[in-house]
């Protein structure tokens, strides 16, 4: 009987370890499906703001404060007048 327990106990421990790791792997995969797109979005937004900051430093213009025309300008030809 003692020899049988020497085999059963490690086998039960091994089964429990694999069950635990499968549980961990399940949540790890779910975590990466959420975290990878989130990380990519943050990197994209950081680069976009970094480009705006560099543009403002190089040119002195602020693209967010740019005056937008509400109507198209009318161009008159001086030759016809």
Write the pLDDT tens digit of every residue in 33-68: 888 888 899 999 888 888 877 877 777 777 667 666
Average pLDDT for residues 70-80, to the nearest whole number? Answer: 74
Q: C-alpha distances in angstroms, 48 versus 17, 18, 41, 54?
A: 45, 44, 11, 10
pLDDT of residue 81: 52
In this structure, what are the phi and psi dihedrals at residue 29, rounded to the nearest 5 degrees?
Answer: -65, -45
Please give the Cα distance from 25 to 28 (Å, whole number).
Answer: 5
Mean pLDDT taken over the chain: 79
Q: How confident is the model at residue 1 (pLDDT cuts 50, 70, 90)?
A: low
Helix ranges (DSSP H) in 1-81: 2-59
- Tokens 């975290």 locate to 35
pLDDT of residue 69: 67
pLDDT of residue 78: 75
pLDDT of residue 63: 65
């Amino acid at each position: 009987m003692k020899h049988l327990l020497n085999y059963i106990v490690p086998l039960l421990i091994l089964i429990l370890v694999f069950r635990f790791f499968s549980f961990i792997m399940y949540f790890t995969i779910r975590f990466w499906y959420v975290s990878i797109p989130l990380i990519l979005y943050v990197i994209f937004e950081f680069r976009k703001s970094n480009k705006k900051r560099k543009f403002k430093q190089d040119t002195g213009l602020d693209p967010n404060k740019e005056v937008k025309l509400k109507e198209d300008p009318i161009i008159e030809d001086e030759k016809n007048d």
